[in-house]
Structure 1
Amino acid sequence: MTVYLIRHGQSEFNALNLEPGAADPMIVDAQLTELGRQQARAAREQILDLGIQSVLTTPLTRAIQTAKLMFDGIAPIQVVADHRERLDHACDIGRAPEELAADFPELSFNHLDEVWWHSGPQNQYGVAEEPHDSFDKRIQNFCKTLDQYSNRPLAIVGHGNTFRALANFDMENCEVRVFAQN
């Protein structure tokens, strides 16, 4: 059965449209902008006829907000950290499960570690950048676990770098694409 990949809507970080190498604006766990919320509501119209039975979203706020705007009342949403964004900027630093639960009380976060995002040596901005090989391995492992999610069609709400590593294509904000697993 079909798996759909959905990139989150425009975040506060995306809206800055930074040049490569620009200073990190230090927006921790970036939220959706108003445009990002509009994109998610428009994408909801696209998915209504797809018969999606289950949704996986990362614990990053912009992905959760996108998943809720698109799927509340349509399909159950499960938070899974394995396909989170590669920690490259402060916007990819997560928040503790109890903080997320306070903002999204209808979702379960009790299975997450206190620090579920990458931790390690920090760059000049204090961000613990995730090494590419570690990220690639994590995404490969996530792909191997997709068979355990039997409620299909399945939607995976996530991030640009994740989907590039998982499916070898770039996605626009709130784009919906079929994922052809190998």
Structure 2
Amino acid sequence: MSIHLIRHGQSAFNAVFFGGADPMIFDAPLTQLGASQAQEARHKVVELGIREVVCSPLTRALQTARLIFPTEDIHVVAETREHLGHSCDVGRAPAELQAVFPDIPFAHLPDIWWHQGELNAVGVPVEPADVFEARMVLLASALRARDARPLAVVCHGHVIEALTGTHPDNCGIVELRD
């Protein structure tokens, strides 16, 4: 059975970042376009028969997951977070997320669940490529070990690219092959 990786909708960061200076939008939320993309994806996902939803704890992914799967339980898995290299990839403490998403459990997350390490010139910790790649190997194994299939994983472009070799557009759906 299938594992479907779904990239989040357009975020406030995606809308303004074109490779220049980091606009310093921490844990970027969806834009109106991003919300519309998620609502459109909802119609495509209905056909997949999803039995479990796993999601990144970054706000843009959580918002996307809730729009696509409004009544499903969402299982937050920190390892599905984006490769930390910009402000938008720095998360928020579980208590802050719980206040915004009261129907999603976060108590299992540590207070800092994103990468901590050397800071770049603007004060954002940057996750080394080898650390990210090792996390993706573990994530792929953990996803394949989950029993409920078809499985949806709402996550990020670099995560999907690391797992499949494909970097989808916002709300693009890519199947992870066993």
Q: TM-score, structure 2 length as denominator? A: 0.97
Which moves more between the two structures, 88-97 or 161-170?
161-170
Look up the match of 1:162.
159
Higher helix share: 2
Q: Distance in 1 between the 2:110 and 2:50 partners?
A: 28
Code of the aligned partner of 1:79: V
CA contact (8 A) 1:82 1:142 kept: yes
Say which of 117, 120, 123 aligns to 2:117: 120
Return 5+ residue gaps in structure 1 as ranges. none
Q: Distance in 1 between the 2:125 and 2:4 partners?
A: 30
Code of the aligned partner of 2:140: C
User: Segments of 4+ in structure 1 off by > 4 A?
Assistant: none
Q: Distance in 1 between the 2:97 and 2:146 partners?
A: 23
Partner deviation per Cα, 1:99-145 (whole Å, 9 max, x = no partner): 00000010110110110000111011000100000000001101111
SS of 1:156's equivalent in the other structure is: strand
Say which of 83, 87, 111 aligns to 1:86: 83
Q: Distance in 1 between the 2:23 and 2:16 partners?
A: 9
**Residue 145 of structure 1 pairs with residue 138 of structure 2:** no
Give the paired residue count: 178
Look up the match of 2:23.
25
Return 5+ residue gaps in structure 2 as ranges. none
Look up the match of 1:77.
74
Look up the match of 1:8.
8
SS of 1:178's equivalent in the other structure is: strand
CA contact (8 A) 2:73 2:104 kept: no
Look up the match of 1:48.
46
CA contact (8 A) 1:10 1:39 kept: yes
Identity %: 48
* RMSD, aligned α-carbons: 0.9
Q: Distance in 2 between the 1:63 and 1:51 partners?
A: 20
Q: Distance in 2 between the 1:124 and 1:146 partners?
A: 35
Q: CA deviation at 1:77?
A: 1.1
Distance change in 2, residues 1:17/1:90 (3 Å): closer
Q: TM-score, structure 1 length as denominator? A: 0.95
CA contact (8 A) 1:5 1:155 kept: yes
Partner deviation per Cα, 1:10-41 (whole Å, 9 max, x = no partner): 0001001413xx11111000000000000000
Q: Distance in 2 between the 1:61 and 1:112 partners?
A: 14
Look up the match of 1:130.
127
